[in-house]
Structure 1
Amino acid sequence: MIAVLAPIVIGLVYVALNSLITEPHRRKFNALMVGGAGAAYLSGGALGPWELVFCAVTTYVAFRGLDSWTFIGIGWLLHTAWDVVHHLKGQPILPFAHGSSFGCAICDPVIAIWCFTGGRSVWTRIGHGERRVSREA
C-alpha cells in the first residue's frame, strides 16, 4: 500500500512546490524537469541504444514544453512508459532501490494530470476560493 501511496504523495508535493513558482518560470522549469527525466536512465544503459533514442525524443518534447503545458504532460507520460519498461526489465531508476521505477511510474502521471490542466498554481486556486468578495456593495 505504501508503495502506491508514497509516489502519489510525492507527485502532489511536487505540484504544490512548483505552484510556488510564478509563470512563465513555472512552465519553463517544468520543461527542464521533463528534459532531465528523459536522461535519467542513460547511465544504466539497460535498453542499449534505445536509451539514446528516448533521450532525444524527450529532449524534443521538453523543448516544445517551453511553450506548452500539454507537451510537458506528454513528456511525463512518456517517462511513465519508460519507468514501466525499466521496472519490468529489473533495471530501476535508482539501482539501490528496487521499486524506484515502479514508484516513478505512479508519481509521473500525477504530475502529468496537473500539466494537462495548465500547470496552474494550486495556491492561487485555493486563495481565489477564499477571497470571494462581492463588489456590488
Structure 2
Amino acid sequence: MQYVAPIGIGILYALLMSLVREPHRRRLNAVMVAGAGAAYLSGGGLGGWEFAFTALLTYVAFRGLESWTWIGVGWLLHTVWDVVHHIKGNPIIPFAHTSSLGCAICDPVIALWCLRGGPSLVEWVRNRRGSGRTGPGAASGEDPGRDEAGPGGTAGAASPTLG
C-alpha cells in the first residue's frame, strides 16, 4: 500500500485540478510546484542546497506560469529532491520515515499529467462515457489549454475561458 497510495494521490491531485478552468489551472499548478520547492526548507537536511533548490524551482515555476512543460519539469526535479532526502534519511514529514519516498512516487504521476498539458481528466471521463464534446479540439480530442510549444513557448497560453 505504501507504493500504491502515492499513485492514487497523484491521480486524485490531477482530478481535483481538472475542476479548475484554464488558464487558471496552469497558473495554480505553477504556484503549487513553487510551494513544493520550499517543502524541505524547515528541515534543512541538505544545508544551503535547500535554498539553491528552492531558488531553482522558483525559476522553473515562474516559467510554468506560461508553460505546462516547465511545470512538469518542476515536478520531476522535486522527485529527484525527494529521492535524495529519502536516501539521506531526512524525510519531508519528520515523523513519517517513508514520506519522501511516497512523494517521489506521487510527483512523477503529477509530472506526466503536466507534461501532457494538464488536460481536464473530468472531461476525459465524460468523453469516455459517450458524451459528445464541442468546441476547439473536439474532433482531435486535444485540450485547447495544452502547451504545445515546450519550455519557453507560449502556445496555449491565451485562453478566453474564465472561472
Q: TM-score range by the shorter chain?
A: over 0.9
Distance in 1 (alpha carbons) for counterparts of 2:132 and 2:37: 41
1:98 aligns with 2:87: no
Distance in 1 (alpha carbons) for counterparts of 2:103 and 2:35: 14
Post-superposition CA distance 1:2-21 (Å, at most 9, x none): 11000000001001100011
What TM-score comes out, normalization by structure 1 length? Answer: 0.94
Q: Which amino acid aligns with 2:132?
A: R
Secondary structure in 2 aligned to 1:27? helix
Post-superposition CA distance 1:91-126 (Å, at most 9, x none): 000001110000000000000000000001011122
Secondary structure in 2 aligned to 1:4? coil
Distance in 2 (alpha carbons) for counterparts of 1:115 and 1:83: 18
Q: CA deviation at 1:131?
A: 1.8
Match of 1:131 in 2: 131
Structure 1: tracts of 5 or more residues without a match: none
Structure with the higher fraction of residues in helix conformation: 1
Q: What's the Cα RMSD here?
A: 1.0
Q: Sequence identity, in percent?
A: 64
Structure 2: tracts of 5 or more residues without a match: 134-163
Q: How many residue pairs align between the two structures? A: 132
Distance in 1 (alpha carbons) for counterparts of 2:116 and 2:54: 25
Match of 1:52 in 2: 51
